[in-house]
Chain A
Amino acid sequence: MRTSLIAGAAAGTLLAAGLAAPALAVEDGMAEVSVLHGIPDTPVDVYVDGANTIDDFQPGDLAGPLDLAPGTYEVALTATDAADDSDPVLGPIELTVEEGMSYTAVAHLDADGAPTVTPFGNDLSETAAGEGRLTVRHTAAAPAVDVWTDGEVLFENLSNPDEMMGDVPAATYGAAVSLTGETDPVLGPTDVEIQAGVNTIVYAWGSAEDGNLDLAVQTVDVHSAAPSEVQAGSYGYADQGGVPAIALIGGALALAGAAGIGLRYARR
Chain B
Amino acid sequence: MLSHPRALVVCAFLAVTVAGCAGGPAPVASGVTLGTMPSQPSPSSSVVPPVDEVTAPHVLGDVEVRSASPAELDVAPVDQPVRLEVAGLDIDMPVVRVGVDETGGMVIPEGALTAGWYEFGPAPGDDAGNAVVAAHVDNAQGLGPFARLLDVEVGERVDVTTESGATIAYEVTDVEQTNKDEVDLTAVFEPDGPPSLVMVTCGGDWQANIGHYADNVIVTAIPVDDVP
Q: Contact between B13 and A193 (Cβ–Cβ < 8 Å)?
A: no
Is the C-beta of A40 less than 8 angstroms from some C-beta in chain B?
no
Q: Contact between B176 and A60 (Cβ–Cβ < 8 Å)?
A: no
Q: Contact between B138 and A129 (Cβ–Cβ < 8 Å)?
A: no
1/0 contact trace for A18-46 toward B, CB 8 Å? 00000010011110000010000000000
Assess A228 versus B104: contact at CB under 8 Å? Given A36-B68, A237-B138, A253-B150: yes
Q: Contact between A248 and B143 (Cβ–Cβ < 8 Å)?
A: yes
Q: Which residue in A60, A223, A237, A253 is a CB contact (below 8 Å) of B142?
A: A237
Q: Contact between A60 and B68 (Cβ–Cβ < 8 Å)?
A: yes
Chain B interface size, as a band, is: 35 or more
Is the C-beta of A179 less than 8 angstroms from some C-beta in chain B?
no
A266 to chain B: which residues have CB within 8 Å?
Answer: 176, 178-179, 182-184
Q: Which of A192, A217, A229, A263 has the most CB of B within 10 A?
A: A229
Majority DSSP secondary structure for residues of B touching A: mixed
Query: Closest chain A residue to B16 by CB distance?
Result: A69
B209 to chain A, nearest CB (A): 11
B142 to chain A: which residues have CB within 8 Å?
Answer: 235, 237
A-side interface residues, number (CB < 8 Å): 85
Q: Which residue in B13, B70, B106 is a CB contact (below 8 Å) of A190?
A: B70
Q: Contact between A243 and B108 (Cβ–Cβ < 8 Å)?
A: no
Stretch at the interface among A47-55, A143-151, A156-164: A47-55
Q: Contact between B138 and A249 (Cβ–Cβ < 8 Å)?
A: no
B177 to chain A: which residues have CB within 8 Å?
Answer: 256, 261
Q: Given the complex of chains A and B, what is the CA–CA distance between A62 and B139 in angstroms?
A: 52
A138 to chain B, nearest CB (A): 15
Q: Contact between A231 and B212 (Cβ–Cβ < 8 Å)?
A: yes
Is the C-beta of A14 less than 8 angstroms from some C-beta in chain B?
no
Q: What are 11 A-B pairs with beta-carbon distances under 8 A?
A: A61-B68, A62-B68, A73-B15, A129-B100, A232-B201, A233-B138, A233-B206, A235-B139, A239-B206, A241-B206, A252-B150
Enumerate chain B interface residues (CB-CB to A < 8 A): 8, 10-17, 26-30, 58, 60, 63-70, 72-73, 75, 99-100, 103-106, 108, 118, 120, 134-140, 142-143, 146-148, 150-154, 174-180, 182-189, 191-192, 200-206, 208, 211-216, 218, 220
Please give 8 more A-B residue pairs, beta carbons under 8 A apart, in addition to A232-B202, A265-B218: A52-B11, A130-B99, A229-B180, A235-B138, A237-B143, A238-B203, A241-B205, A262-B175
